[in-house]
Chains A and B, each alone.
Chain A
Amino acid sequence: MRIKKADPVLAEVDMTPMIDIVFQLIAFFMVISNFEQTQADERVRLPEDVLAQPPTVKPAHELVLNVGFVRDPDHGIPEQGPVVFYNAEFCRITDTDSPSEVLIYNRSTGANVTRKTVPFAYRLEQEKRLFFDRGVNPAEEVTVIVRADTHVPTGLVQKLIQMAQEPFTGSDGTSQGGFAKFALKAEQSAVSRAFQTRSP
């Protein structure tokens, strides 16, 4: 007996709705992800506060100083005290002339590595001169943003501010005033975020 065979119909999947949704997702992630160059350092755990509001006007010139700890894997606060993370360097606030050492925990080998620190006074002086050479007055136009860890002793932050205030000798040989505007960074706490999301 002959059975009439139907042509095997290839089920054509309609791709259009899926592509629509995928494009939407891409657009969402593109908008959400920010490639903004921030000098934030994830090793610094900022204190939380309700009143910490993101600045409405971004300062024209800013210098971000990250003060934090080289934490060990147990996330304790190490004995060696806080350091300033300056680019790839580790700087100590209290160092004056001779560099000291800092122990860095190496995750892959599980051992500590010793790195030399740089006295931070040098770097601050460099920053002041750099601003000055670019025609920016450090005393009036630059805001120093202090991002200090929750557990940093207050005295060190104050010392850092004092060092930043110190006058320096510009490239033309005149004495110039140091930084005068400071901003202390804090993370917006959950409470204030909840307040903000509630608002329309």
Chain B
Amino acid sequence: MQFRNQKKPEKIEPQMAPMIDVVFLLLIFFMLTLKIISPEGDFNINMPAVAQAQTETPKLLPDFKVRLLADAATGQLIEVRFGQRSLGNGPQAFQLLQQTIKEQIAGSPYADEVEIEIDADFDLNYEHVISAVSACTGEISPSSDGGKPKISRFVEKIKFAPPRQSQRAAVGG
């Protein structure tokens, strides 16, 4: 039906300004709350209580022993020893440790059974322990086709020897 006085549908102009205000506020809020955190990873160590450990069946392979010697005053690494063998210090020592363990593990049917015991001086800086654990657990290598880097794991079982006494004269701790 036609009405004479029918008005044209009016175009409603939405009010943009308040919305833009709010949107900007939101934007600034999210920008300010943004915190850039570098990702963290972890190394699992399994340390059951001493009482349980003694009831274990005897192992087929003896534990690998990694000894870390430290300077008592500064906590810096002095020497890395694998069994009786000295591997020097610094990053090369950990690379050498990685290679040695890789050679020892390679081809062994009991590779899964191997345990590594890390015996560190009391005052050694914690970062060197992480390096040692890392060198024992595996290595990372870029894959040949440029894809995801390959991580090969050597030893899953890492444990610590009982802590030694501090050589430092006055350690707060």
CB of B104 closer than 8 Å to a CB of A: no
Q: Is the CB of B173 within 8 A of A156?
A: yes
Q: Is the CB of B122 within 8 A of A155?
A: yes
CB of B18 closer than 8 Å to a CB of A: no
| B1-41 CB contacts (< 8 Å) to partner A | 16, 19-20, 23-24, 26-27, 30-31, 33-35, 37-41
Given A51-B134, A154-B121, A183 and B43 contact (CB-CB distance below 8 Å): yes
Q: Is the CB of A154 within 8 A of B126?
A: yes
Q: Is the CB of B171 within 8 A of A181?
A: no
Given A154-B122, A155-B163, A50 and B27 contact (CB-CB distance below 8 Å): no
Q: Is the CB of B127 within 8 A of A158?
A: no
CA–CA, A33 to B27, complex, Å? 12
Q: Is the CB of A195 within 8 A of B43?
A: no
Interface size class on chain A is 35 or more
| A139-153 CB contacts (< 8 Å) to partner B | 139, 145, 147-153
- Total contacting residues, chain B, CB less than 8 A: 64
Q: A55 contacts which chain B residues (CB < 8 A)?
A: 41-42
Q: Is the CB of B40 within 8 A of A52?
A: yes
Residue of B nearest to A45 (CB): B127
CB of A119 closer than 8 Å to a CB of B: no
Q: Is the CB of B126 within 8 A of A198?
A: no
CA–CA, A94 to B166, complex, Å? 12
Chain A interface (Cβ within 8 Å of chain B)? 15, 18-19, 22-23, 25-26, 29-30, 32-33, 40, 46-55, 79-82, 92-94, 139, 145, 147-159, 161-162, 165-167, 177-178, 180-188, 192-193, 195-196, 198-200
Closest 6 CB pairs of A and B: A81-B172, A52-B41, A155-B122, A29-B30, A47-B127, A158-B163
CB-defined A-B contacts under 8 Å, sample of 10: A49-B131, A50-B134, A154-B120, A182-B47, A183-B45, A185-B41, A186-B41, A187-B39, A188-B41, A198-B146
